[in-house]
Amino acid sequence: MRHFATGLGLFIVFAVLLVAIIAPYIAPHDPFAQDLNQRLVPPEWMDGGSAVHPFGTDQLGRDYLSRLLYGSRISMTIGIFTVITSGLIGITLGLLGGYFGGRVDDMVMFIITCRLSIPLILVALTVVALVGSSLTVVILTLGLLLWERFAVVSRTATMQVRNLDYIAAARAAGASRLHIVLREVLPNILTHLVVVATLEMALAILLEAALSFLGLGVPPPLPSWGLMIAEGKDYMFFSPWVIMVPGVALFVLVLGINLLGDGLRDLLGAGHAQWR
């Protein structure tokens, strides 16, 4: 059961990653090409659907399958680059606080507390509204906001290894602090961080979709899944697939990432990370 779930998660994540990479080669149509004579065509499995547009078309007659495939690129890009940005910030803070302790740690804890008290979505929306919506802005905004779990976990993990023998040995051998933190501490807390990375990636993808849904994420006509749901909202009562198709895709991808993260936690024995 456990292995099945982890395997399923791994399969979903890699499948979406593969689709994101080869989207231009497998998409049946241009995801931006409008055809106003073919608006809101139902998917193949519904009445009035056809094999030309397997997932139907949207309100501008754009092929929904092609938009969905291209949309995976946005979700994966957001997920990966947000995690890199937030990981750099959070792990740096966590290592500093965990290794040096004392005043440094107080400062790190204070920064984490401040970050937690700021309403996430509200601040992200404000930043995107002021700076202007683009993929880069969304990635940087989310990256600058989603680092606190990295910081908390790397801080706790660093504290656990700080006083172990091999660190003392490195210190006795005259290794510099930077060397100890990067070469001795970091590799030993990495398993915990991989698990956090999956959680944050899932969260970043959900938040991008929510921001795009509110019109302050990735700008149109980019096929962000959140934006597709927002654009389909006005037509959902008569053409429910316009919100079901991207919504299910989003749900499956996030579920896959979470399954993978849970499986990794068990496999790597990384213990229980903090849940929000």
Return residues touching other proteins (CB under 8 A): 1, 110, 113-114, 116-123, 125-127, 129-131, 202, 206, 209-210, 213-216, 226, 229, 233, 236-237, 240, 243-244, 247, 250-252, 254-255, 258-259, 262, 272, 275-276
Place of tokens 């690129």: 73
56, 58, 62, 65 alpha-carbon torsion, rounded to 10°: -40
Q: Which long-range contacts (CB under 8 A, 24 or more apart) does 190-194 make?
A: 191/264, 191/268, 191/269, 191/270, 192/153, 192/154, 192/157, 192/270, 192/271, 192/273, 193/87, 193/91, 193/150, 193/153, 193/154, 193/157, 194/264, 194/268, 194/270
Three-state DSSP string of 215-229: CCCCCCCCCCHHHHH
CB of 243 to other proteins, least distance (A): 5
Of residues 22 and 46, the one with the C-beta less far from other proteins: 46
CB of 125 to other proteins, least distance (A): 5
Q: Which two tokens stand for residue 34?
A: 């409008």
CB of 168 to other proteins, least distance (A): 26
Q: How many helices (H) and strands (E) does the chain have?
A: 11, 0
CB of 85 to other proteins, least distance (A): 17
CB of 82 to other proteins, least distance (A): 16
Of residues 103 and 272, the one with the C-beta less far from other proteins: 272
Residue 78 · residue 139 · CB < 8 Å: yes
Of residues 184 and 213, the one with the C-beta less far from other proteins: 213
Of residues 125 and 167, the one with the C-beta less far from other proteins: 125
CB of 117 to other proteins, least distance (A): 5
Of residues 54 and 215, the one with the C-beta less far from other proteins: 215
Of residues 203 and 222, the one with the C-beta less far from other proteins: 203
Q: Which two tokens stand for residue 14?
A: 């890699």
